[in-house]
A and B are shown apart, each in its own frame.
Chain A
Amino acid sequence: MLLSQATGGAALAQEGAGPGLDMYLPLVILFALALGFALFSVLLGPLVGPSRFNKAKLSAYECGIEPSPQPVVGGGRMPVAYYVTAMLFILFDIEMVFLFPYAVSADALGLWGVAAITLFIATFFIADIYVWRRGGLDWN
């Protein structure tokens, strides 16, 4: 009820501009169904499955050898290359955030848009080449 009121309000707000948030309603229903399915499945396991205690089952699986005293590798530290990759991902993802709206309205923007987006991508290329030359993309 609340949802329909909210979406009704949104539809009023952008009157004549096509359907509002109403079109997301099936998605919300599907999300609720999927969440219900996933939670049901995960909670079903302990209910119907057997439970036989064994001390060995409680230790982390390391192919049968004694578990390492620091289960999280290197005391919680990870190779720095993963951080670099994550940073690069954020950079390029933001680039894509700008590229998607451009792509949708490319015909309306014409050549000016192409020049702008070329400049934008070129700027990113400079950063990319810098990281590349400094070995940020190398793994070994």
Chain B
Amino acid sequence: MTPMLAQAQEPMTRAELLADDPLWLILLKCVVVLLIGPILTIFLIVWERKAVGRMQNRTGPNRVGPHGYLQSLADAIKLPFKEQVIPDTADRKIYFMAPVIAVVPALIGLAAIPFGPEVSIFGERTVLQLVELPVGVLLVLAGASIGVYGIVLAGWSSGSPYPLLGGLRSTAQVISYEIAMGLAIIGVALYAQSLSTGQIVDAQQSGWFFYLLLPSFVIYLISMVGETNRAPFDLPEAESELVGGFHTEYSSMKFAMFFLAEYVNMVIVSAFATTLFLGGYLFPFVGADSPLNQGWLPVLWFFAKTFLLLFCFIWLRGTLPRFRYDQFMKLGWKVLVPLGLIWVVLISAVRAIRNDGNVSTGQILVIGGIVIAVIVLLSLLLPEKKVPDSDSVPVTGGGHPVPPLDLRVPETTPRRKALKAKARSSRKQPAAVASAKEDSDGDV
């Protein structure tokens, strides 16, 4: 008894604890991690439909099961028994592979997420995490990237215009926002001095990263919505433009796989945000030794935080209209990426200054100022962008001049503004004259 107790109190790192796991425990954890995604998906769909329904003054699903909560379970059982329709133009091999490629990385994404601290399962000491890798963060990021292959291959192999456009849009969207997401994560890696998810959570015992790294957190939140193709960034499946997006030609279980991948990805990015910024399984305001942070209880805190973020997804969908594609890409490339880069430089500089006390802040500011000045000067050397003459009517391939099809309002120049103001001031006439003029205009 006594040696066992001594062994139990001996502190071990997460990696050591996980390395000691027997095979049955690894298998048990694998099955649980695999099932968390689909089970949460089934719950999320019904939750989303009910919440969005409430936001739109209707009840949402309320027929199947108590208060309609079994609706998506019934849908999941129904889907395999539906006929699968494959268009003639499809590239059949890739068409079958695409849903698998989309769903497999999504299902293994939760492997690196720490759900809780050290516990004992059937007398075996372990941590509630499948793998604690030195590159755990990169594993989750890589999973999100590989999922894109499924989407683009699905769009291409369908041999149909709408899925192709949806797949292309989705690819461009996900890869654009992945840059911003990665830059947000670099801030966390800088503060935690580690890329392993367990150590990142441990590093947040003194303070959660979401207020220490607020810009990173905001960039992450925006890019996680873009990354998962959710409203208001759900352009790849914009129903009013592209029918259903990349999965228009998919039916039956193959469609279910895409649906599952989308929702599991939502769960992953939420769980990942919890791990990186919201202290993972830690309870706020208490130390790691507190009973609130011991045993199985932290799993509850972890899922509470994850569900908070998942509710934000639903809330966004119920609140915001869809972005236009150019606005969306502009936000990604012209706002989030430069902001993320500047922020990374800023915090790494501040951190280094704080650690190496022998260099004053003034010197760093001078060096930084010189660098910024050099960049600005170099940008002045770049050639001016050629603005096409908007007044000329372009001649297209048919040989006939066609009026321009873009209905953009030209940008207001100072000269135009002055002209407008002039016209407005000259229009100021006595009310009777003005109304009479308007009447006559109306007659014409």
Contacts and interface: CB of A to CB of B under 8 A. Distances in A.
Interface of A: 18-19, 22-27, 29-31, 33-35, 37-39, 41-42, 44-46, 48-52, 57-63, 67-68, 71-73, 78, 81-82, 85-86, 88-89, 92-93, 96, 99-100, 102-107, 109-111, 113-115, 117-119, 121-122, 124-126, 128-130, 132-135, 137-140
B375 A126 contact: yes
Interface stretch (B25-33, B51-59, B275-283, B310-318): B25-33
Contact of A62 (B26, B160, B257, B378): B160
Contacts of A140: 326, 406, 408
B152 to A, nearest CB: 10
A80 B35 CA distance: 41
A140 B82 CA distance: 40
Given A38-B257, A42-B257, A137-B330, A71 B130 contact: no
Given A103-B186, A110-B356, A118 B103 contact: no
A29 B375 contact: no
Contacts of B254: 42, 45
Contacts, number: 252
Interface in B202-216: none
B223 interface: no
Interface stretch (B165-173, B294-302, B427-435, B436-444): B165-173
Interface of B: 15-16, 18-19, 21, 26-27, 29-31, 33-34, 80-89, 96, 99-100, 103-104, 107-108, 111, 130-133, 138-139, 156, 158-162, 164-165, 168, 171-172, 175-176, 178-179, 182-183, 186-187, 189-190, 193-195, 243, 248-249, 252-254, 256-257, 325-326, 329-330, 333-334, 337-338, 341, 344-345, 348-349, 351-353, 355-356, 359, 364, 367-368, 371, 374-375, 378-379, 382-385, 406, 408
Contacts of B30: 26, 29-30, 33
A24 B131 CA distance: 7
B126 to A, nearest CB: 11
B378 A30 contact: no
A68 B162 CA distance: 11
Contacts of B344: 99, 103, 117, 121
A109 to B, nearest CB: 8
A130 B381 CA distance: 10
- CB-CB nearest 9 A-B residue pairs: A60-B160, A45-B253, A139-B326, A34-B107, A103-B189, A45-B252, A89-B175, A103-B190, A38-B100
Given A27-B111, A71-B161, A122-B374, 18 more contacts: A30-B130, A34-B104, A42-B253, A44-B80, A48-B81, A49-B82, A49-B252, A49-B253, A60-B88, A61-B162, A62-B160, A78-B168, A100-B182, A121-B345, A126-B379, A133-B384, A140-B326, A140-B406
Contact of A111 (B15, B83, B139, B359): B359
B133 A23 contact: yes
Given A49-B252, A124-B341, A24 B133 contact: yes
The B interface, classified by DSSP as helix, strand, loop or mixed, is: helix
B200 to A, nearest CB: 11
B185 to A, nearest CB: 8
Contacts of A58: 86-88
Contacts of B345: 114, 117-118, 121
A68 to B, nearest CB: 6
A133 B30 CA distance: 49
A39 B253 CA distance: 10
A96 B308 CA distance: 29
Contact of B193 (A33, A61, A104): A104
